[in-house]
Amino acid sequence: MALTQVSSNKYCDGYQKVFEHGSSELKCKMKFAIYLPPKAEIGYGKYSHPLCFAGLTSTEQNFITKAGSQQAASEHGIIIVAPDTSPRGCNIEGEDESWDFGTGAGFYVNATQEPWKTNYRMYPYVTEELPRLINSNFTADPEKMSISGHSMGGHGALICALKNPGKYKSVSAFAPICNPIQCAWGQKGFSGYLGPDKCTWEYDATVLAESYSGPELDILIDQGRDDQFLCSSQLLPDNLIAACSKQKIPVVFRLQQGYDHSYYLIFSFIIDHIIDHIDHIKILQNGGRRNSGEKNC
């Protein structure tokens, strides 16, 4: 798949780039941002690469301009990939009418309903097509892939890890939508993309955790205590924590005093998440395990 470079900026001794490509899954042109740490461009070794998803209404620009991840990525030799969150320019009637559906929220599903099923295949795009593209064009190590996200992107990160045991070496999230079949955002998105039969709504982190039987998977979540969507029952982290506890999936859940749903939460704790991903990859390489458990701060 051919890549067209849209922009390139020197940043923390590495390069923040944006590329465009034609997507075979989404049947449209897509953009993704990629941070390449120093020497990554000239094939110096192999670098681990977290895939980072932004939240509702986001494009690839939100994470790279607001999250502040580049300094830590540069210091630790991490490639960070930030995809767009929805297909764009597909000329589907109504795709731009709502901030929580269509181009505002693809929900990382493989749509089965008209008129969305041709283009809205974000799940196979982020789990298969985009990683293949990164691995074939950059010095990324496919055995060191982690995943993270914010809000709807946190939902995306969690379901990708839970639906693909062993594919990702670690997973983290900021204020994720944890139980979408039980909240208004998820019910709107899933019914539109997947239809009314809830048996087909197989993209819910809480439900997936209840039946998870793969290799050890540790989850790190930072959640703002003053998040307006936490109070309005859109995020439902307690449901996910309960499901993980039943299945003995280790969760570090940090409830951060005074923080809301904005990118200030991400900027404040992104380094913790990058270090967590790095540490977990190192521990797995050494054949060990890391200690995790539920924690409220």
pLDDT score, position 83: 95
Q: How much is the average pLDDT of 200-204? A: 97
In the chain, what percentage of residues exceed pLDDT 90?
A: 81
Average pLDDT over residues 284-290: 51
Find tokens 């990683």 and name the residue. 131
Secondary-structure percent of the chain, ordered helix, strand, coil, rounded to 5: 35, 20, 45
Mean pLDDT (the chain, rounded): 91
Helix/strand/coil for 276: helix
Is 150 a catalytic site residue?
A: no
The yes-or-no answer on residue 227 being catalytic is yes
CB-CB contact of 191 with 203 (8 Å): no
Is the model more confident about 40 or about 95?
Answer: 95
Could you say which of 86, 151, 170, 172 is catalytic? 151
Higher confidence at residue 114 or residue 282? 114
Statement: residue 44 has pLDDT above 90: no
Q: Mean per-residue pLDDT for 109-121?
A: 98
Mean pLDDT in residue range 144-150: 94
- Once rounded to an integer, what is the mean pLDDT over residues 44-71? 87
pLDDT digits (tens, 9 = 90+) for 229-264: 999 999 999 999 999 999 999 999 999 999 999 999
Active site (annotated) includes residue 74:
no
Question: What average pLDDT does this structure show over 26-53?
Answer: 85
Closest CA to 174 of 148, 150, 204: 150
Among 261, 273, 277, 280, the one annotated catalytic: 261
Per-residue pLDDT at 285: 54
Do 236 and 179 meet the contact criterion of CB atoms below 8 Å apart?
yes
Which of the following is catalytic: 84, 204, 222, 227?
A: 227
Catalogue all structural domains in the chain, each as residue range(s) with its CATH number.
4-285 (3.40.50.1820)
Q: DSSP for 108-148?
A: T-B--STTTTTT-BHHHIIIIIHHHHHHHHSSB-TTS--EE
Chain centroid to CA 275: 17
Regarding pTM above 0.85, the answer is yes
Query: Average of pLDDT values for 119-130?
Result: 97
Range list of β-strands (E), the chain: 4-11, 14-23, 28-36, 51-53, 80-83, 147-150, 171-174, 219-224, 251-256
User: Cis peptide before 115, with omega less than 30 degrees from 0?
Assistant: yes
Token digits for 261? 């749903």
